[in-house]
Amino acid sequence: MLKKKKYVIFWLDNQKFALHLSSVERVVRIVEVSSLSKSPKYILGTINFQGEFLPVINLRVLFDLNERDIDLNDQLIITNTTEIKVALWVDNVSDIIEREDEEIINSNKILIESKYNEGAFKYNDELVVIQDLDAFIKSNEKALQKNLKKKTNIINS
């Protein structure tokens, strides 16, 4: 029996990416992001999401895309990883789709170098790269936790 997985498709510029649906808690419209001084460039700031402070990840920095200002039509993907909950700033979330394991192209076979890629699949004649959010979080956990703690300490002062 073939195993199917569900993915959330999101856009950055004109490129499509995907996350496992199981790691996505919710998609919300962009809200005000509180900036943090001395945080890594990929941390846009934090948001208060239902009483919980979440770091907002700027995927444009991680994927080496052109940076731009936040637009009112942008969205945040609230994600749960094995380590921490984060918000990912994206242009748009477009679809939820299913793919069988045999449809996934191994990340070693695609020419997109990133330690955060899990693989890829074809969707509407385009290549969609699946992001390994846990790999990103594990390699950057200390910075994320430090910046989240800093924001919480400022608010509690």
Percent of the chain clearing pLDDT 70 (strictly above): 82
Using CA atoms, how far apart are residues 135 and 141, in angstroms rounded to an integer? 10
Cβ atoms within 10 Å of 44's Cβ, excluding its own: 23
Q: Which residue has the tokens 């890629």?
A: 117
Q: How large is the average pLDDT for residues 100-108?
A: 85
pLDDT above 50 for 114: yes
User: HSE-up of 64 (CA within 13 Å, CB side)?
Assistant: 4
The average confidence (pLDDT) of the chain is 84
The sign of the CA dihedral 107, 121, 5, 137 is positive
CA 55, distance to chain mean position in Å, is 11
**What tens digit of pLDDT does each residue of 42-57 get?**
889 999 999 999 999 9
Q: Which amino acid is at 92?
A: N
pLDDT attached to residue 19: 94
What pTM was computed for the model? 0.84
- What is the model's pLDDT at position 148? 53
Which stretches of 9-132 are DSSP H helices?
59-62
Instruction: Give the mean model confidence (pLDDT) for residues 98-102.
Output: 92
Domains of the chain by range and CATH? 4-156 (2.40.50.180)
Pairing of strands 105-106, 92-100: unpaired
Residue 82 in this model has a pLDDT that exceeds 80: no
Report the C-alpha gap between 43 and 34 in whole angstroms: 11
Residue 157 in this model has a pLDDT that exceeds 50:
no
